[in-house]
Structure 1
């Protein structure tokens, strides 16, 4: 295993709360936060990429029983234009995704294991349903979506 990481992030996923702890090589905590599910009620998980890099949070959210939605790229870009600032950061994007879901829920596409939306996104993302025809080994994340 590669030992040249700048941060190791441990995630403890639980039924009532989750906790993340990030450590730099010297052992300093650079991230240490809990998010309790019970304090906030039902959670809608919104991703901007339900396949590829977003497949893992979709699989985890699905396993936890959360409802999952997808904010299409064009809707995301249009929504981002409504907010001040031009910097593209993960924190800004996450806020825009959540706020767009809050204020413009009609822009979301709900993702269900059997949904046509997810099937079409798999095709667009190039996910091949037949591992024998795939261009390489099937990742564990891709397997979660099948």
Structure 2
């Protein structure tokens, strides 16, 4: 019988943290990955290589620094679950006592996606909108970098 896996990705500006769980909640992978197309493609390939069933991806952001990852996932026809801020906060409260970290947040996302009865799947944007989101997010990051350097 094919087993699904659940990938939680804590989105960061320059890097993301990914935790992958199986149906039983056993952790299969934990990795911090730079927010670059090449590195994200390697991550996606590795996660898909772990699956003998379906993969559901869960993220805590649906725009900005998440745009590149979401575009790459949708280009590969992957299911992406979005856990909005308030829902994520409530889900994270179930894991009290643990120190907040990117890995913990990614694990919360994966576990919530695994156990959710009514996940909110993100519909893929049309091609032009996806490209525009990626370019806009990249431009914003570059502007912040230039601004930060000019202050120093």
| Residue-by-residue CA offset, 1:10-51 (whole Å, 9 max, x unaligned) | 62726xx63xxxxxxxxxxxxxxxx25244122111111011
For 1:74 and 1:103, how far apart are their aligned partners in 2?
17
Q: Tell me if structure 1 keeps the 8 A contact 2:40–2:69.
A: no
For 1:55 and 1:113, how far apart are their aligned partners in 2?
11
Given the alignment, which residue of 78, 101, 124 partners 1:113? Answer: 124
Cα distance change on mapping 1:74 and 1:36 into 2, 3 Å: closer
TM-score for both structures, normalised by structure 2:
0.52
SS at match of 1:112: coil
For 1:87 and 1:70, how far apart are their aligned partners in 2?
23
Q: Which runs of 5+ in 2 are unaligned?
A: 1-32, 127-131, 141-152
Q: Who wins on radius of gyration, i.e. which is larger? A: 1
Aligned length: 99
- What corresponds to 1:78 in structure 2? 90
| Residue-by-residue CA offset, 1:61-108 (whole Å, 9 max, x unaligned) | 1111101110111111111111132421000000000101111242x3
For 2:75 and 2:57, how far apart are their aligned partners in 1?
12
For 1:72 and 1:83, how far apart are their aligned partners in 2?
17
Q: CA deviation at 1:139?
A: 3.9
SS at match of 1:59: helix
Q: Tell me if structure 1 keeps the 8 A contact 2:67–2:137.
A: no
Q: Which runs of 5+ in 1 are unaligned?
A: 1-7, 19-34, 116-127, 130-136
Compute the RMSD of aligned alpha carbons.
Answer: 3.5
1:104 matched to 2:102? The reply is no
1:42 matched to 2:54? The reply is yes
Cα distance change on mapping 1:61 and 1:141 into 2, 3 Å: farther
